[in-house]
Chain A
Amino acid sequence: MTDVQLDPTKRGYWTSDQEVRWCPGCGDYGILAAVQFLHAELDVKREDTVFISGIGCAARFPYYMSTYGMHTIHGRSPAIATGLAISRPDLNIWVVGGDGDMLSIGGNHLIHALRRNVNVTILLFNNQIYGLTKGQFSPTSEVGKVTKSTPMGSIDRPFNPISLALGAGATFVGRTHDLDRKHMIEVFRRAHEHRGASLVEIYQNCNVFNDGAYESITKRDVRADMMIDLVDGEPVRFGADNQRGVVMRDGRAQVVDVADVGESALVVHHESSHDTTPAFAMSLLATDNVSPTPFGIFRAVEGPEYGEYSEMVNQQLLTANEQSGPGDLKDLLRSGATWTVS
């Protein structure tokens, strides 16, 4: 073992001995690096950390972490992680999957994990395509997408993962992208620190089957005009000269020139607002890959009304123990009517 593998503050400590087998140039490499670098900064132990995934390219992720891990079956990772989280609230649990895994076959488990607010950090790698099965449209592909299974163009309307998560009552919802390690690390850190279920959508490039899907938003030279950085407590502004902003008009978020409306008219972003309406409106600001798109943390709420699930499960165990005393098997078997035959 080399020295870096013994030092938890080094990326190498969090890297497994398995060869990474994503396609060269895949956005997943950047995400893996960000997660490993983040763990080198976090105060968590390797043995207390678990990565759980379903099926898909992204789902190979746990093999590349030196932590505990489970590469499960298609779509079910939120459910499997839920069982682990309920029974082991002491663990640092991450769920990793793609848009097909999480939103198609596993859509049900995702929304229920979010509504229950189980303490897991969910990374949704959204590349708007099925990669492992070689290029069919996904539940986030745009209408009209021509793929092997849709030669005349997809007629399915896509999910907006942020809107879906907010609709499911998620207490933490964020978005980042695979080209900005620093941004990823910060959003992942916040998601990890959040007590409850966190969902982070990652715009991830599939350079083989859907190359450049997000280029018009995330490419370095267009970012300033296309990426809207959500900052808690600040008016929502963006642009190379910060000249553009977002207002709420008729219940919808709309992009305006600040000069036209004045800064005071801009939406002030409050990530901890109980009301999900502004965050929901913000999630719908961009419904394609060519409009200015918000990034950062859409929602992050904690407090008594957003109880964390495993904590509540375990609190009921304590309460039952207080009320009835520790379970006694001998008594249990005699809890119904009994009689003696002599």
Chain B
Amino acid sequence: MNANGNRPLLEVEDLVVRYPVPRGLVSSLGRKPKENVQAVDGVTLSVRSGELLALVGESGCGKTTTAQAVLRLVDTTSGAIRFEGRDITRLSTRALRPLRRRMQIVYQDPYESLDPRLRVRATVEEPLAIHGLGGSKTEREERVRTALARVELSPPELFLERFPHELSGGQRQRVAIAAGLVLEPSLLVADEPVSMLDVSVRAGVLRLLDRLRENGLGILMITHDLSTAARFADRIAVMYLGRIVEEGPAQEVVHNAQHPYTKALLSVVPRRDPRDRARPQILTGETPDAVRIPSGCRFHPRCPVAIDECSLRDPVLERPRNARTPDHRAACILA
């Protein structure tokens, strides 16, 4: 599928996304200085074909903004985004169009992302019409059926004429995925794809994504759920306040975490086994807002092991001393 040999499908380099903070009338008249939200502050990541990268973090950490920037849904302040070997950071909307169908997104809530008035057939066919693809009516029909089969809604006849309200949550999310797959993308951005679904059907959708990945799709999954990432990602990148603070193979990040924030996040994941009641490392307070980013290491005010130097030096993402694999990186001067 991807003819770029060993080059990653998606490469994001030092991405920065800043928004101006809207000022109220009083602030404007009072000539208060304009402030910026530093939503994404220097993110570097890559996704290969057949790989699932999980971008993990709490709300406001910049994971969704990163994904939106990748899809060119928000403007990039600086940095570069390369997709299928092309720099798309400043590509015009027109030039971007043929590439758009190669990168698709699945949203969190299949109750909102599907048009309730459209039958499954129309929902899945619509992207073809928008991109002027699919040729004749018969060919389009065939593509729709193939897409439904790929998301395991089979036989397709059973689903083609149904409306969203006639489907379960899991089936709706599969329809949403089919509407993305019908364009045969090489990259799928999945923004919390199962968090609105009942526990009993989550794994089904996740395993579907896993099979699509095995068949060559690159997946960037945005999630707040480390357990899901641990089970389904090749690599995990943990974000805090606009930065990736730790990144590496999923098993390494989960079982050999090096950044104090990752360690704290892992410790508060409730365990299924009631006998496994380890004392969680609960951080006090909440993530500071991205307008006033702390000096030095941005995590230092909440860090349980911070030393004086942490408020002065902004750590770079590099291989920690205790790394067991070469591609494990953490941004902590103590690691």
Whether A associates with B in a native complex is: no
